[in-house]
Copies of this chain bind each other. A is one copy, B any other.
Amino acid sequence: MKTRYLLTIALVGALGLTASLARAADPLPSWNEGTAKKSITTFVEKVTKENSPDFVPIPERIATFDNDGTLWSEQPMYVQAFFVFDQIKKMAPQHPEWKEKEPFASVLKGDLKTALAGGEKALVGMLAATHSGMTTEEFEKSVTDWLATAKHPKTGKPFTEMVYQPMLELLAYLRANGFKTFIVSGGGIEFMRPWTERVYGIPPEQVVGTSGGLKYELRDGNPVLVKLPELVLNDDKEGKPIGIQRHIGRRPIAAFGNSDGDFQMLEWTTSGKGARLGMIIHHTDAEREVAYDRKSHIGKLDRGLDEAAAKGWSVVSMKDDWKTIFPPAKPTN
């Protein structure tokens, strides 16, 4: 009996070990087996295999990722919009005139619907007020401070935990295969850089985003860069290939997006020669996240769904292709 007992323990132990080895060997454990996962691994094997006709040298293995809705959640509102509203509240004591001035007055009353009713003009005014006039270092601190305490309104989690676990695995898998991973996002470049290295392993110099003007000046003999209320790059739609060329200077071989704002980035990427991977993250999971596409104001995906098949782009269904959406909660100690 004793022998059999020990044997059983040994066998169970061995089985457990085998299972964890199998898990360790799968670089994308949060992805269900299926065409989406297969399209990734097949592409990576092709471009990394030395004698393959599709082999791509390491320096040319450039992969670009949209951020909002592709790497982290963009519902019910862009994270940066929450930041803007909170900054307006924080800055209000220095701006008594905002009590009478739209869209600020509505934001201060908590009436975001009225605040946003002013359309693009209202948005630009709020962005200018909260994203310019300060130095780059002051702005960086305001983002870092805000992220340390701000919580997602539905889940109560820090926004930096509202990132997609399968995409974190994908980033790591590509990097392990010699890819350089970049963010190419409509979000503000200076809003992303303070945290993308810690959260995604993407350093500031590999972040491309909507950018404003800067002014170099001396304050008490110390140089500073002051953020100006002028647009240098609107990194959305046609702006994405432009941002890629300006910041990266070569065409990616893989691109990942989730909305029609990413259409031109995927088009530019996948129309290059050789093996290419274009992938759309389709928000299909009403239960574990939010289901939205053609009719959504945020992250509208319409043309991309229509043309994906013809363009050879892979469409990921979050509901079917992803085992988990978000990473396990971090210990709060």
A residues near B, CB below 8 A?
A: 59, 62, 136, 180, 182, 189-190, 193, 197, 203-207, 211, 214-216, 222-223, 225, 232, 238, 241-242, 245-250, 264, 267-268, 271
A216 touches B242 (CB 8 A): yes
Min distance, Cβ A261 to any Cβ of chain B, angstroms: 13
* CA gap between A193 and B244 in the complex, in Å: 14
| Cβ 8 A contact of A216, one of B189, B241, B248, B250 | B241
Known: A136-B245, A180-B205, A225-B242. 11 other contacts (CB 8 A): A189-B246, A204-B248, A205-B205, A205-B206, A205-B249, A214-B242, A216-B241, A222-B271, A223-B241, A223-B271, A225-B268
A249 touches B207 (CB 8 A): yes
Enumerate chain B residues within 8 angstroms of A211, measured Cβ to Cβ: 246
A selection of 18 A-B contacts at a CB cut-off of 8 Å is A180-B205, A182-B205, A189-B249, A205-B205, A205-B247, A205-B248, A205-B250, A207-B249, A214-B246, A215-B238, A215-B242, A222-B271, A223-B267, A223-B268, A225-B242, A225-B268, A232-B246, A247-B247
Enumerate chain B residues within 8 angstroms of A136, measured Cβ to Cβ: 245
* CA gap between A193 and B216 in the complex, in Å: 26
B268 touches A241 (CB 8 A): no
A244, closest chain B residue (CB): B225
A225 touches B241 (CB 8 A): yes
* CA gap between A173 and B216 in the complex, in Å: 31
B268 touches A216 (CB 8 A): yes
Decide yes or no: A245 and B205 within 8 Å by CB, A223-B264, A268-B223 being known contacts: no
Min distance, Cβ A131 to any Cβ of chain B, angstroms: 14
* CA gap between A197 and B223 in the complex, in Å: 31
* CA gap between A214 and B222 in the complex, in Å: 34
* CA gap between A191 and B161 in the complex, in Å: 42
* CA gap between A206 and B205 in the complex, in Å: 8
Min distance, Cβ A25 to any Cβ of chain B, angstroms: 29
* CA gap between A197 and B182 in the complex, in Å: 19
Enumerate chain B residues within 8 angstroms of A204, measured Cβ to Cβ: 248-250
B245 touches A214 (CB 8 A): yes
